Structure 1
Amino acid sequence: MNTTAQPPLPTNIPEYLEHLRRSLAGADPALIQDALYDAEEYLRSELAENPGKTEAEVIAQVASSYGAPEEVADIYRDTEVKVQTALRTPPSRPRRSVFGKFFGVVAEPRTYAALFYMLLSLATGVFYFTWVVTGISLSIGLAVLIIGIPFAILFFGSVRMLSLLEGRIVEVMLGERMPRRPLYSNRGKPLMARIGELFADPRNWSSMLYMLLMLPLGIVYFTIAVTLLSLSLSFILAPIMVWLGIATMGAGSGDWMYFTIENGVLFSSLGIMALPLMLVLGVLMLFGTLHVARGIGYMHGQFAKRLLVKSAQYG
């Protein structure tokens, strides 16, 4: 009879977490962060409930229920596949032609979510930028006072919560898997050690960098979205308004491809020929805008993951 030797159980919690990290190698970094948080929270709560036992005894006790690191890793991988399958929108029919791929973007729900994120990013960018600049300025200014350290601790804690919130927004709108748990904070450690970890954690600093960059990025995203949507919708609606009698046609300045609307009159150097041409250009620009939104959504999702997910998970 063939038997597979099981690896020995870890003897302490850090070793258990390291085994779990290695077992999840290649998985999504956000998934790894969630798994490590859940495992550490569970193990430390069991250790607190059994003060007379060592970490090795607690790990051996819960191995049958929670599982060894390899078993927990397999469970998380399987669960992630099921959750992502349930949350993912039904895939659209594959399109092989160039025209099908270009115009098929209109049937992708993620397209509109990415476009909405581009519009929303201006508001979130202003808020994040203001929060971080104000928090850093007050933390430095109050450093000489007794309330300086408590204020800085609260500010860094708020950055962690805001980064988690932004991660949820990114995952819902852009479809990029982000952490659903915060970084674990061991309440059993001495207070000064926990404060030191809070300030030394590079993820807090990269999260603040992300929030500062969201202001210029939000301005760029909002400007691109509004400009392209305005141009494409204007080119689509102008000929329709003329055909419906809402606007009239006038002579343009003679410049090639000259279009303008003044006081309800559409002026064009191409005369009546401009109407179908404008409509076609508007439709092409509108679909092009949707493709731009999808591309920006994908790139921003990767950017957010690099700055908001614990960097150690990428090793």
Structure 2
Amino acid sequence: MNAFEASSSVRPGGLPTTIPEYLEHLRRSLAGADPALVQDALYDAEEYLRSELAENPGRSEADVIVAVAGSYGAPDEVADIYRDTEVKVQTALRPPAPKPRRSWMGQFFGVIAEPRTYGALFYMLLSLATGIFYFTWVVTGLSLSAGLAVLIIGVPFVILYFGSIRVLSLVEGRIVETMLGERMPRRPLYSSRGQPLLKRIGELFTDPRIWATQLYFLFMLPLGIVYFTVVVTCLSVSLALIAAPIGLVLGHAHVLSLDPWNINSNDQPWLWPIAMLVGVLLLFVTLHIARGVGYLHALLAKHMLVKTAQYD
């Protein structure tokens, strides 16, 4: 449910008289909240206020705000609604917490029961494909923008390219939130749509978050290569160590090569369980690596894709 659909009673006195003032009041009321939540709240608020103003062309912004506040809530009340709704939504979406484990063995092996582990693991595998796409998009877009900017027909292309960066930022944010569990924006960055068109277009090129997003997309290629290589290598080695002794026992293999040792099916059977044990330990180490990488990458994405400076 949209936060503005909750009814409340307000006193018209002291209400903002313009939409920018309303948004600024709402932003201050949400101080300390997750920046992604603030971005969503500001976008919803401006979208709603602008639509109400468009449907009532004969009324001033102050009159529309009084009507909206009387029916749906003043900025402070809307902020409280968003905070309460966020707690409920996050509680509903959060996977069940694993049973607390006090021993180091429980903590080490318990990673296999954490859903976020597999989300991070899959994200590391997917990051190679997304990294190639993002890197190609940014390099191609910047190159064509620089080459076509001197031409009249190149201006619309440059605007579309920078607009696409905001769209891709939302897409990446949804992937990060779904797989890594970090709260990311679900709405675009709100803009002052009451400003002249040229000024709004200029904000595309001066917004630091646009450039930070492009830098993030460029980083995704080397990070994706590293993530994919680490996961595939570790999983391949660990699963091979676990499965190879079984293959020796079943007669599907004759030699297990562990440089500089070679274990064949006729001798050194005491090394087989050791190989399997090493494989199991390496598998759990891989899961811990994926969990740690997922946590750190979520922080990186939050820092570079969300406009935190606006909400400080």
**TM-score in terms of structure 1 length:** 0.90
| Aligned counterparts of 1:77 and 1:292: Cα–Cα separation in 2 | 33
Q: Does 1:190 align with 2:196?
A: yes
Q: 1:189-231 deviations in whole A, cap 9, x for unaligned?
A: 3221121111111111111111011001101101111111111
Q: Does 1:276 align with 2:282?
A: no
Q: 1:157-213 deviations in whole A, cap 9, x for unaligned?
A: 111101100000000000000000011245443221121111111111111111011
| Aligned counterparts of 1:25 and 1:208: Cα–Cα separation in 2 | 27
Q: Give 1:34 shift.
A: 0.2
| Aligned counterparts of 2:117 and 2:188: Cα–Cα separation in 1 | 28
| Aligned counterparts of 2:64 and 2:12: Cα–Cα separation in 1 | 18
2:223 to 210, 217, 222: 217
The total of aligned residue pairs comes to: 303
| Aligned counterparts of 1:294 and 1:7: Cα–Cα separation in 2 | 51
Q: Does 1:109 align with 2:115?
A: yes
| Aligned counterparts of 1:43 and 1:314: Cα–Cα separation in 2 | 20
Q: Does 1:292 align with 2:298?
A: no
Q: Which runs of 4+ in 1 moved over 6 A?
A: none
Q: 1:41-100 deviations in whole A, cap 9, x for unaligned?
A: 111111222222222221111102221111011100111111111111112211111111
What percent of counterpart residues are identical?
71
2:260 to 258, 272, 284: 258
| Aligned counterparts of 1:139 and 1:260: Cα–Cα separation in 2 | 57
SS in 1 for 2:252: coil
SS in 1 for 2:71: coil
Tell me: CA distance 1:100–1:7, structure 2 relative to 1, closer, same or farther (3 Å): farther
Aligned twin of 2:106: 100
Q: Give 1:272 shift.
A: 2.5
Q: How does 1:1-315 map to 2 (within 5 A)?
A: 8-249=14-255, 258-260=260-262, 265=264, 271-315=268-312
| Aligned counterparts of 2:85 and 2:109: Cα–Cα separation in 1 | 34
| 8 Å CA contact retained: 1:121, 1:222 | yes
| Aligned counterparts of 1:281 and 1:7: Cα–Cα separation in 2 | 71
| Aligned counterparts of 2:125 and 2:304: Cα–Cα separation in 1 | 21
- Superposition RMSD on alpha carbons, in Å? 2.2
